[in-house]
Homo-oligomer: A and B are copies of this chain.
Amino acid sequence: MNSREDLDDFIKNGHKQYLSHLSIDPVIFGYHDQQLKILLLRWRGLNGWGLPGGFIRKREPLSQAANRILQERTGLDNVFLQQFQVFGDSPYRLQERNAQEFANTYGFEVDTDHWLFERTLSISYFALVDYSRVSVTTDFFTDGYQWCDVSEIPSLLFDQNEVVEKALATLRLQIYHQPIGYNLLPDKFTLPEIHSLYETILGKKLDPWNFGKKLVSLGLINKLDERRSIGAHRSPYLYQFDKEAYENALTQGIVHTY
């Protein structure tokens, strides 16, 4: 949505095209060089940083809507995007002050019955990407973006600090069940490479020896009969994700059983 005409139509007729009081707000984690960040957009009219959100079309399947919104706001496509929670405990997300400011910015009348000011429940998703490969696009509603380190998240719009915290907790929990980090490492990787990835995501030191043993015993990665030569006396073994175990995890919901 980039023209004034599109915008006017959206504000006036959006409630005919979209399901009211529901939004999708993905938390996009970006990993690169042992840093973990999230994507924030600056929302014009709301005068603050927030997640890249959007609405669901009336007949659009939910998962399709999530992918469309992510694609529209960030240019990202074909990403592992996982729903994790609906946030709906605060009856109103857009407070009166915000509503006034928002309406002023876009030049329309404030009316508490307006569909954009209805109570909104947020269906939250998360994804993990290599942020060095992403080109973020902004639109009429957003005038800037940043990849913000997870340890330095500013005060966000609505209840989105809680959303981000919960997303991080879920990511950390699911890293042993879901193929979250799948496309962040080369197809064949060394133990130190996956060790760094896990340390960064979990935000703490992991014993390298026990860590490798655990991943293998959980069936997440397989040791290959192949080494990488990285120096005169250094040629570490290579490992690969066990695709079957991961696919099993995605359908059965469990990797490690007892």
Contacts and interface: CB of A to CB of B under 8 A. Distances in A.
B60 A91 contact: yes
Contact of A253 (B20, B83, B170): B170
Question: How many A residues are at the interface, by size bracket?
Answer: 35 or more
A172 B62 contact: no
Interface in A90-129: 90-91, 119, 121, 123
A254 B211 contact: no
Identical subunits present = 2
Given A19-B119, A62-B121, A172 B258 contact: no
A258 B173 contact: no
A137 to B, nearest CB: 26
B19 A59 contact: no
A5 interface: no
A257 B210 CA distance: 11
A258 B198 CA distance: 10
Interface string A180-202: 00000000000000000000001
A63 interface: yes
